[in-house]
Amino acid sequence: MSKEAGLLYNYMFLISLKRAITSGWKSFKRQGGLSFATIFILTLALFLGTSLFFFQKTSEFLIESLKEKVDMYVYFQEELAGDRIIESRDELSKMPEVKEIVYISREEALERFTERHQADQALIESLDELGRNPLLASLNIKAWEATQYAAISSFLTNASFKDLIVKVDYQQKKSAIDKIFSITDSISTAGLVSSIAFALVAVLVAFNTVRLAIYNRKEEIETMRLVGASNWFIRAPFLVQGAISGLLAALITLLICGTGLYFLSPYLEFLIPGYNIFNYFLNNLWLVFSLQLIVGAGLGMLSSWIAVRKYLKA
């Protein structure tokens, strides 16, 4: 292709694109009712998708919070030197299941106990009357997964320092650990199933709404085919309409989600301390909007492409 032919081709393409955008925008404004219905359905679809996105993030934070609350303690003999306990800690830390181990001396254990029960004056006075520290030094162990505590407990039963251990509280916590594992597994499964179900419903509803809007213009499409219009000439304005509807739906959804999360955030943070969902939204604003725009415009254009294709084949 010569340079002149290439320039002419580019010029004709730009003219065709400008015509498609102009025609699509005019049709969008002319069909106000159907355009509004399309935007409403796309907004609903995007809102569902965005809600599931934040639900998944909230679930992940909740699961991690629950996992952080799970731990186990290994208590050592009262007169055992701290150096020997630290050696045991170093040996235990070599296990791949162990995420973190913290050594708690008898003095630190007493300090924590006093702070935790400072409101119980009778208990504090009883401790003072005892005249000595009755608490034992311990290792606080955190595993990567709740299911790994059983393996750590089994290791402790046969460890080289097993004779130095007075107590391992795994059996007392086993039911709670299993319950937390069950809860986190259920949350993950429910989130995945809900995401797939709502995504399918949103896509089907959005597609059928766009198809209904195009059905009302089938006579116009048939007329353009009779006068010899190309498939691109017929299809392009509908694609532009779909993109416009998706863009406006994304903007509306972003505004609704931002407002909703602003008011929801304090209540959610009360239930899940340390989790501010509105700050997460602000920190990921462009990511959220980009995903909404891609999905909204893509869904609108894809629905238009498939719906128009039916009439172009007829």
Res. 215: pLDDT tops 80: no
pLDDT tens readout for residues 269-285: 887 778 888 888 999 88
Report pLDDT for 114. Answer: 84
Residue that the structure tokens 């708690």 belong to: 104
Report pLDDT for 252. Answer: 92
Residue type, 244: I
Name the residue with higher pLDDT: 204 or 2.
Answer: 204
Mean pLDDT of 287-299: 85
Mean pLDDT of 263-268: 87
Q: What are phi and psi of 125, to 5 degrees?
A: -65, -40
Q: Do the bridges between strand 138-143 and strand 98-104 make them parallel or antiparallel, or are there none, so unpaired?
A: antiparallel
pLDDT tens readout for residues 70-114: 788 889 888 888 888 888 888 888 889 888 898 988 888 888 888
Residue that the structure tokens 């409403």 belong to: 40
Q: Rounded to whole angstroms, how far apart are CA atoms 73 and 136?
A: 11
Pair of tokens at residue 142 = 């955190």
Mean pLDDT of 168-172: 78
Report pLDDT for 217. Answer: 66
Residue that the structure tokens 């702070």 belong to: 115
Res. 31: pLDDT tops 70: no
Strand segments (E) across the chain: 72-76, 98-104, 138-143, 165-168
Mean pLDDT of 288-296: 86
Using an 8 Å Cβ cutoff, are 243 and 301 in contact? yes
Q: Rounded to whole angstroms, how far apart are CA atoms 216 and 227?
A: 19
Report pLDDT for 259. Answer: 92
Using an 8 Å Cβ cutoff, are 209 and 37 in contact? yes
Using an 8 Å Cβ cutoff, are 155 and 65 in contact? no
Q: What is the mean pLDDT of the chain?
A: 78
Residue that the structure tokens 């499964």 belong to: 189
Q: Rounded to whole angstroms, how far apart are CA atoms 210 and 299?
A: 10
Residues 6 or more apart from 167 whose CB is under 8 A from it?
73, 74, 75, 136
pLDDT tens readout for residues 237-250: 777 877 888 888 88
Domains of the chain, CATH where assigned: 17-66+181-313 (no CATH), 71-173 (3.30.70.3040)
Pair of tokens at residue 101 = 């181990």
Q: Which DSSP category does 135 fall into?
A: P
Using an 8 Å Cβ cutoff, are 240 and 25 in contact? yes
- What does each C-alpha distance from 245 to 146, 155, 242 come to in angstroms? 46, 61, 5
Q: Rounded to whole angstroms, how far apart are CA atoms 149 and 98?
A: 9
Neighbours of 253 (CB within 10 A): 26
Residues 6 or more apart from 191 whose CB is under 8 A from it?
52, 55, 56, 59
Residues 6 or more apart from 312 whose CB is under 8 A from it?
221, 225, 231, 234, 235
